[in-house]
């Protein structure tokens, strides 16, 4: 009788298991097949799929042909894993559970991929629950519970739980920061030093910094933050403004706004004198964010010097380019127009200044270049201050007066397709059809005429 033919068993299956393991290990030709079967089980949670072996050795081919009781075609094997139990039942090891045999072959239990995932998930849940117990502040509790519930706005936390080896330490730092948010404006490096012992501990390229920013975003959204407003900003702008919303400043010196003609007031109603002095000297101001943070209200320098908490509406002219700003100042400094220059982009200081102006009664008249970037900036203003912004010489007629001649490549033309606001969509279509940009300098005389005579802030 062949060693693979069925015999009447005199031992129970559990006593056959060590004998079977010893036998298979004594025949090296089985190793790759049994390893492949074990891997299939771990991957699928069952004996399924096909085990593929290439370049069979002479020993493997001889051993496996005896087991299968048939010759193998060439040096390759494609073996359906589900047949292993049937073949085993035709041997003297009939009655053995094939999975138990494979587990013993591997020296322990076979852990399926799903079981590993379940175990890892339990560990992650335990980690979050430990943090819940450690950080009782309501802000932390809300964020951690949302992470436990796998809510959509906690995706970064879910990802960090899987990929960040230092998740517990980084998340704890982020939670300490959320627990101790400042009540007055504070520079981020100073805040990070107090929280982490490292001024760079909450930098945006650090694990703790990324989680902290995500926590702030979660808190702002749950508190009713304007999602549409945030979507109008670039990633850098959104990040800086988010920190600023929670009284944290990344850079309060090099981040500045350029303006002319304003009087500024501090929290006690006291006028901040150098703003008025600059206007009277017909000098523009590059005001750093740290100084704008002191301001609670603004108004026309040409108005009364005393603090007026409820001003009438007044006109503020905003231009995109510094050259246009300077030319307008040359034309109208003696009229003390209220001017702001954005320098081709929105800095946090500009947003901080505009927010204070909007609260103080300002109506914004914005003029930008007739190109994709100029229209995108105009749209950001319209989305953020929908009842405060008036487009200033940004019509189709103004575009033709500015003499469009600068060709636009395909990448820039694609930006025009993103313009959705009704006030700008027609102009965007005209520029796209012409495939040429025009610039503010082409309508400088029209802009200069307007700043010399008051516009109606109510129209």
Q: What is the pLDDT of residue 226?
A: 54
Class of domain 256-451: alpha beta
Close Cβ partners of 158 (under 8 Å, ≥ 6 residues apart): 147, 150
What are the residue ranges spanned by the domains of the chain? 13-111, 115-249, 256-451
Share of the chain above pLDDT 70, in %: 90
In contact, 431 and 416? CB cutoff 8 Å = yes
Maximum mean pLDDT: which of 58-62, 297-301, 343-347, 364-368: 364-368
Q: How many CA atoms lie within 13 A of 42 on its CB side?
A: 15
Q: What is the mean pLDDT of residues 371-389?
A: 94
For residues 321 and 380, is the Cβ–Cβ distance under 8 A? Answer: no
Q: What is the CA radius of gyration of the chain?
A: 36
Q: What is the pLDDT averaged over residues 341-370?
A: 92
Which residues lie closer than 8 Å to 231 by C-beta, 6 or more apart? Answer: none
Q: What is the pLDDT of residues 166-186, one digit of tens each?
A: 999 999 999 999 999 999 888
The pTM of the whole model exceeds 0.75: no
Among the listed residues 440, 432, 452, the one whose alpha carbon sits nearest the alpha carbon of residue 394: 440
Taking Cα atoms as reference points, which of 43, 51, 110, 112 lies closest to residue 82? 51
pLDDT value at position 368?
94
**Residues 328-337, mean pLDDT to the nearest whole number:** 80
The CA distance from 301 to 7, in Å, is: 107
Q: How far does CA 143 lie from the centroid of its chain?
A: 17
Q: What pLDDT does residue 91 have? A: 86
Could you tell me which residue, 144 or 235, shows the higher pLDDT?
144
What span, in angstroms and rounded, lies between the C-alpha atoms of 145 and 122? 15
């Amino acid at each position: 009788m062949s060693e693979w033919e069925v015999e009447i068993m005199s031992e129970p299956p559990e006593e056959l298991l060590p004998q079977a393991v010893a036998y298979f290990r004594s025949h090296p030709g089985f190793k790759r097949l049994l390893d492949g079967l074990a891997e299939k089980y771990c991957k699928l949670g069952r004996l399924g799929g096909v085990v593929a072996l290439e370049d069979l050795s002479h020993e493997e081919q001889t051993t496996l042909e005896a087991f299968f009781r048939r010759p193998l075609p060439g040096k390759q094997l494609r073996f359906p894993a589900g047949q292993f139990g049937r073949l085993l039942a035709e041997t003297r090891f009939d009655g053995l559970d094939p999975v138990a045999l494979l587990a013993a072959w591997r020296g322990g239990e076979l852990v399926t991929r799903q079981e590993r995932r379940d175990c890892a998930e339990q560990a992650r849940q335990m980690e979050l629950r430990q943090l819940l117990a450690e950080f009782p502040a309501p802000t932390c509790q809300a964020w951690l519970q949302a992470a436990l519930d796998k809510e959509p706005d906690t995706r970064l936390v879910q990802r960090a739980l899987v990929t960040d080896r230092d998740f517990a330490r980084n998340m704890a730092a982020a939670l300490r920061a959320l627990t101790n948010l400042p009540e007055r404006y504070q520079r981020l490096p100073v805040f990070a030093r107090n929280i982490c012992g490292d001024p760079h501990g909450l930098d945006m390229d650090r694990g703790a910094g990324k989680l902290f920013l995500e926590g702030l975003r979660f808190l702002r959204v749950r508190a009713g933050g304007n999602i549409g407003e945030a979507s109008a900003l670039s990633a850098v702008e959104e990040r800086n403004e988010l920190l600023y919303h929670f009284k944290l400043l990344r850079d309060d010196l090099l981040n500045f706004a350029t303006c002319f003609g304003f009087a500024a007031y501090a929290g006690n109603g006291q006028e901040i004198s150098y703003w008025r002095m600059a206007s009277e000297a017909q000098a523009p101001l590059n005001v750093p964010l740290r100084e704008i943070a002191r301001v609670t209200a603004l108004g026309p320098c040409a108005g009364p010097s005393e603090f007026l908490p409820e001003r009438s509406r007044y006109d503020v002219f905003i231009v995109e380019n510094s050259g246009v700003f300077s030319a307008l100042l040359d034309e109208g400094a003696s009229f003390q127009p209220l001017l702001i220059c954005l320098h081709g982009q929105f800095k946090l200081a500009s947003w901080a200044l505009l927010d204070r102006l909007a609260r103080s009664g300002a109506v914004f008249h914005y003029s930008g270049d007739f190109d994709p970037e100029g229209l995108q900036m105009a749209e950001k203003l319209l989305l953020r201050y929908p009842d405060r912004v008036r487009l200033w010489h940004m019509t189709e007629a103004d575009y033709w007066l500015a003499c469009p001649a600068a060709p636009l490549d395909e990448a820039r033309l694609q930006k025009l397709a993103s313009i959705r606001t009704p006030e700008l969509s027609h102009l965007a279509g005209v520029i796209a059809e012409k495939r040429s940009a025009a610039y503010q300098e082409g309508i400088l005389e029209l802009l200069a005429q307007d700043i010399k005579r008051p516009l109606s802030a109510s129209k």
